[in-house]
Structure 1
Amino acid sequence: MGFLAGEDITAARLNRLQPKQYWAQASALLETNQTAQDIPGVTVTFNTEMPNAVYTACLVADFDWNAVDTTLSSARIKVDGGFPINLFAVGQMQVASDRGTNAQNYRGVLGSAGSHTITAVGTTVTNRINVYSSLLVVVYEVV
């Protein structure tokens, strides 16, 4: 990622040295569902200039129970419309009025340059995922 002696330094290369942050907050509740569905508003779209950019992501899901259910509820991310990553933020509550704001971290490589989208998806049984959910993505370009 360095520069060689005598090498010309361009503004574009210098810009890629700076990590870029993207953030999104839920815009509506994700109501009870049995399959992984997009959490409304928890999507970031961005462009990379070079292949093999590295991303880190922190997903925070606010689980809000409205009935007693000991079944796990979960949230995770998917990248560029692919299958959700099998690393979950999970919640399991014993009382209908329980609430939990849980997080999970991710790291990956974006193989190609261009437009990318990272979306949070949630699976719930008798609860919902609240609007206090968010996603922070930091992208590190390769020089």
Structure 2
Amino acid sequence: MFLAGETITAGRLNRLQPRQYFAQASGTLPASQTSVDIPGVTVTFTTEQPNAIYTAHLAVDFDWNANTNSLSSSRIKVDGTFPINLFSVAQMQTTTDRATNGQNYRGVLGSAGSHTITAVATTDTNIINSYSSLLVVVYEVV
């Protein structure tokens, strides 16, 4: 918020516009993996102020190689930790099944500086294919 008569700085004006970051998978993630980074689905960015808000949309391409009754899943990791146990999950019964599943996230980045958001997956008999992506939007504190 800007008050009447207040001096406006370029830095504060620049923080008014949300910033978008996008990453697409650079390869596949093999079957039988547990909490492994999806290749290429990582964004790194810098915030100017503490308490910036981020939203993220993760889309993961699950591609089955064998019949299974087990779940495969994906989620985001923020600065090396899992901020919330909110997963994108898939379970397919047939080797020809394939699905691109999504999940949405929202959180606060407590400190200013460099941050990294990474897509992580656990696979059963499926692979995570290269049509996976991550879109992050950051809203700075003005």
| Fold match by TM threshold 0.5 | yes
Give the 4+ runs in structure 1 shifted more than 3 A.
none
Letter in 2 for 1:115: S
* Higher mean displacement: 105-114 or 2-11: 2-11
| 1:137 match: secondary structure | strand
SS at match of 2:20: strand
Match of 1:125 in 2: 124
Task: State the TM-score, normalized to the length of structure 2.
Answer: 0.98
Flag the 1:80–1:56 CA change in 2: closer, same or farther, 3 A. same
Aligned residues: 142
Measure, in 1, the Cα distance between the counterparts of 2:58 and 2:19: 17
Q: Identity of aligned pairs, percent?
A: 75
Q: Which amino acid aligns with 1:27?
A: S
Deviations 1:95-127 (A, max 9, x none): 001001000000000000000000000000100
Is structure 2 residue 30 aligned with structure 1 residue 27? no
Q: Given that residues 71 and 92 in structure 1 are in contact (C-alpha distance below 8 angstroms), is that contact kept between their aligned partners in structure 2?
A: yes
Unaligned runs of at least 5 residues, structure 2: none
What's the counterpart of residue 68 of structure 2? 69
For the aligned residues, what is the CA RMSD?
0.9
Deviation, 1:84, is 6.2
What does residue 101 of structure 2 align with? 102
